[in-house]
Amino acid sequence: MRLIDHFLAGGTAGLDSSRHSDVFDPNNGAVQAQVVLGGADALDRAVAAAQAAQPAWAATNPQRRARVMFEFKRLVEANMDELARMLSAEHGKVIADSKGDIQRGLEVVEFACGIPHVLKGEYTQGAGPGIDVYSMRQPIGIGAGITPFNFPAMIPLWMSAVAIACGNAFIIKPSERDPSVPVRLAELFLEAGLPAGICQVVQGDKAMVDAILDHPAIGAVSFVGSSDIAHYVYNRGVAAGKRVQAMGGAKNHGIVMPDADLDQVVNDLAGAAFGSAGERCMALPVVVPVGADTAERLRAKLIPAIEALRVGVSTDPEAHYGPVVTQAHKAKIEGWIATCAAEGGELVIDGRGFTLQGHENGFFVGPTLIDHVTPTMESYHNEIFGPVLQIVRANDFDEALALPSQHQYGNGVAIFTRNGHAAREFAARVNVGMVGINVPIPVPVAYHTFGGWKRSAFGDTNQHGMEGVKFWTKVKTVTQRWPDGSPDGGNAFVIPTMG
């Protein structure tokens, strides 16, 4: 059985570990590897290697650090096919989507190539008599990232590219369900010229997460995963005196106004609701048609579009989406479909019990459409994270606006309309962090910033862009004076002012 190990100080750890977790091939249900589940001893080794390497890396001028990022980008591009196959084999998303996962992460690497420019500080000459004030951004030291299964390349790259370019050492704790890609990325960082110990991978589950949160030498933790764990990570990390950003779950709504181009909407919804089997924090699992007529017209167009979706193994180039990540997750999704039907939802298309010929043990869930879902239902309140689209009907714009605004999650939302005024009002008033206007998956580009509101994110800085730079650095402000020796007659006992 293949063993997936930690990647510490530029190599595999070879530590004895009595705890392992199965890594499945979601296409056929077989166990394809085991990942070690480490704890404090593996983390201590990672931290020791990071402490040895980080001061010299921080002292390396930012242009040279950026050159490592340029070379890393080249290497990831050169290894794109291999990385996409590896990602798809553990996650189950189709190859083209796996490449998208990697490419989205690479766009943050491109942003990090510009780090010399964005790290420049501020300067005021003559803030007082003979006094200048300037600020500089310095790395935290050692940062850690704890990542979910659903974007095993993009999310580790969101964090690592910015953290490392800013001069930090970075330790990734990937999801134990698809842990191979982060290890390969760390190897490519090393090949690109990053010193050993600056990008490391520790494998594990809750025990490793707790070790990270409690380790006194780790100054900042970035987490992405489900909301209850994000909240826990935030509280425990902050209690230990760390800087923490913790992104959580989502239930993104797509509002469809009566004037929307419904063919376009249906096309967009099919990809946004069912792409990657719905296992995206920016998926659109809820559609809100405004007015009964819009709802009927939309439903009539959605049914054939969903019935035409092709579910296949992740290597099938014709498949729109592949299996979900584990049998347990498949059971959870099917459980939510049953709950929604029991709560009064109308099961228009039922994807439960779907099997793929020749892959009967694969973790497949057929596309599912449920109409007449209401805000009081548990299946609406919670994230399903599968290929399930719920229709919640609204009578008017205000009712539609209230749904995502009042939901516990506030990651992303989209409005489909031809009316610029309605779109502008919606964007200004909706209580959600990322808004799409005729854009179904409004993931901001890498030089903007990513983050939700309410239970979709704990902490006050977002991922990537300047927010990422702020998260992975501390500001130091210097007030300087170079006296010429003449007496200034100041009174040292009074707080200095510029009055």
Q: Which positions touch ligand NAD (CB under 6 A)?
A: 146-151, 173, 175-176, 205-206, 209, 224-226, 229, 247-250, 281, 383, 385, 411, 452, 456
Q: Which is nearer to ligand NAD, 161 or 423 (CB)?
A: 161
Question: 186 or 250, CB closer to ligand NAD?
Answer: 250
Element containing residue 24 per DSSP (H, E) = strand 20-25
Using alpha carbons, select from 219, 298, 302, 286 the residue that is nearest to residue 251: 286
CA angle at 339 for the pair 334 and 344, rounded to the nearest 5°: 130
CB of 207 to ligand NAD, least distance (A): 9
Q: Shortest CA distance to 225 belongs to which of 475, 411, 435, 405?
A: 411
Structure tokens at 487: 């007496």
What gap in Å lies between CA 113 and CA 373, rounded to an integer? 46
User: Based on CB atoms, which residue is closest to ligand NAD, 132 or 210?
Assistant: 210
Q: How far is the CB of 383 from ligand NAD (least distance, A)?
A: 5
Between residues 37 and 422, which has the closer beta carbon with respect to ligand NAD?
Answer: 37
Nearer to ligand NAD, 21 or 267 (CB): 21
Q: Among 235, 252, 157, which Cα is nearest to 463's?
A: 157
Q: How far is the CB of 412 from ligand NAD (least distance, A)?
A: 9
Task: Rounding to the nearest 10 degrees, give the CA dihedral for residues 59, 64, 70, 75.
Answer: -80
Classify burial at 380, counting beta carbons within 10 Å of its beta carbon; exposed 0-12, middle 13-18, buried 19 or more: buried
Distances, alpha carbon 221 to alpha carbons 118, 251, 278, 327, 399, in Å: 21, 24, 27, 30, 38
Instruction: Report the nearest approach of ligand NAD to the CB of residue 420 (Å).
Output: 29
CB 406 within 8 A of CB 430: no
Selecting among 113, 199, 281, 340, the annotated active-site residue is 281
Closest CA to 28 of 311, 384, 357: 357
Whether 129 and 473 have beta carbons less than 8 Å apart is answered as no
Q: Nearer Cβ to ligand NAD, position 101 or 371?
A: 101
Work out the number of other CB atoms within 10 angstroms of the CB of residue 20.
Answer: 16
Q: Which is nearer to ligand NAD, 54 or 411 (CB)?
A: 411
What are the angstrom distances between the C-alpha of 167 and each of 49, 116, 197, 449? Answer: 15, 11, 12, 20
User: C-beta of 299: minimal distance to ligand NAD in Å?
Assistant: 26
DSSP state string for 336-376: HHHHHHHTT-EEEE--TT--BTTBTTS-----EEEES--TT
Closest approach, Cβ 433 to ligand NAD, in A, equals 9
| Single-letter code of the amino acid located at 35 | V
Q: Compute CA distances 9 → 49, 221, 446, whole Å.
A: 6, 20, 29
> Rounded CA gap, 214 and 116, in Å?
32
Q: Which residue is nearest to ligand NAD (CB)?
A: 225
Q: How far is the CB of 374 from ligand NAD (least distance, A)?
A: 22
* Residue 281 bears catalytic tag: yes
Nearest approach in angstroms of CB 273 to ligand NAD is 14
Handedness of CA 89, 94, 95, 100 (dihedral sign): negative
Nearer to ligand NAD, 150 or 168 (CB): 150
Residues forming the active site: 281
